[in-house]
Amino acid sequence: ARTIKLAVVAGDGIGPEVVAEGLKVLDVVLAGSDVTVERTEFELGAKRWHETGETLTEDDLAAISTHDAILLGAVGDPTVPSGVLERGLLLKLRFALDHYVNLRPSRLYPGVPTPLANPGDVDFVVVREGTEGPYTGNGGALRVGTPHEIATEVSVNTAFGVERVVRDAFARAQARPRKKLTLVHKHNVLVNAGHLWRRTVDAVAAEFPEIAVDYAHVDAATIYMVTDPARFDVIVTDNLFGDIITDLAAAITGGIGLAASGNVNPSGAFPSMFEPVHGSAPDIAGQSKADPTAAVLSVALLLEHLGLPEQATRISDAVTADIAARDGSPRTTVEIGDALAARVAG
């Protein structure tokens, strides 16, 4: 028998709606097995901030850290100044728990609507660096509100940080049949960081002779993602480029409602965190219009990470079947969750 200690941060907007369906499917997939889940819900997000001014305290962080994994819905709310929750809650979790591998797989499931005429066989994973780049908060603003305002956001790239994520991406490429890795950056302009990334990829490549290594500038990568996404297998890229191209990747593979992600600390020193790629979607929040599939697939990534690949596959198979059976008629968040739970139950 095994007990998984799961921290749940449902968050804002559609976060709680989609997380409820993710947990529903999790309960079903583990029912009758010797694995039980001990859940702790953390009330974090807009409501907490309005009530207390807190985003994520050191006590919250310490309590979350004692769990085996985290399931997160989404954070961000129009009533809270932009950046407060995003930086103070979500990024604080990613940084404090050293989630340096932000794993964002994209697969075009059979029967999924795509805006692409000839998508080909789309199955790639973006390994997005999760703790550095322009996200670290280095920079500042001078003479704010004057005609002489100066605003800087500094991209931090360390040899240590780049090497560990590049190594992880190579190892993932090695474990995949196509054995291809594409570095996405912009070394023609961002010469300092770009050359560090490039040299690091070249150096690690020497240890992985079976991997075909490729490079695309991020602007060109957005072209290929639309014209020829099947060319990608593993993409390794920095925090901001990875953010942008994974929304595009979602858009070509059935939409943002299907895209799942993992914020992984491969060492296991800290719990990894699984969440949909999408945000709190204030435009549809509270209307049961959100597709919970991304949250459900994030639960599958969580189970795989915790060494329960059979349960993870049962969930992704249920999603594949559900998508194939879609006929375009609208379903509520709960109806989709129920349908997935029923398929998982068999």
Token pair for 89 = 């809650």
Is residue 243 a known part of a binding site?
A: yes
Question: Does residue number 200 form part of the binding site for ligand NAD (CB under 6 A)?
Answer: no
Query: Which residues does 3 contact at the CB level (< 8 Å), separation at least 6?
Result: 35, 36, 37, 38
CB 49: neighbour CB atoms within 10 A? 22
Closest residue by Cα to residue 229 from 241, 245, 213, 244: 245
Assess 280 for contact with ligand NAD (CB under 6 A): yes
Write out the binding residues for ligand NAD, residues 235-274 only, by CB under 6 A: 256-257
**Applying CB under 6 A, which part among 30-38, 63-71, 111-119, 278-286 lies near ligand NAD?**
278-286
Q: Tell me if 234 sits within 8 A of 169, measured CB to CB.
A: yes
Residue of 12, 21, 123, 243 interacting with Mn ion (CB under 5 A): 243
Stretch that binds ligand NAD, among 52-60, 68-76, 135-143, 202-210 (CB under 6 A): 68-76
Give 323: exposed, middle or buried? Use CB within 10 Å, 0-12, 13-18, 19+: middle
Q: Is 168 annotated as a binding residue?
A: no
Minimum distance, C-beta of residue 247 to Mn ion, in the bound complex (Å): 6
Q: Report 83-102 residues binding ligand NAD (CB under 6 A).
A: 86, 90
Q: Catalytic residue at 247?
A: yes
Q: How far apart are CA 80 and CA 136, in angstroms?
A: 21
Q: How far apart are CA 291 and CA 280, in angstroms?
A: 12
228 carries a ligand binding annotation: no
When the beta carbons of 104 and 343 are compared against ligand NAD, the nearer one is 104
Cβ(294)–Cβ(278) under 8 Å? yes
Nearest to 287 by CA among 229, 331, 323, 235: 331
Give min distance, CB of 86 to Mn ion, in A: 10
Q: Reply yes or no on whether 135 is catalytic.
A: yes
Helices and strands counted in the chain (H then E): 12, 12
Q: Is 128 among the annotated ligand-binding positions?
A: yes
In the list 28, 29, 56, 91, the residue contacting ligand IPM (rule: CB under 6 A) is 91
Tell me which residues touch ligand NAD (CB under 6 A): 14, 18, 74-76, 86, 90, 256-257, 275, 278-284, 290-291, 294
Q: Which residues bind Mn ion (CB under 5 A)?
A: 243
Binding residue positions for NAD(+):
279-291
Q: Which residues are catalytic?
A: 135, 186, 219, 243, 247
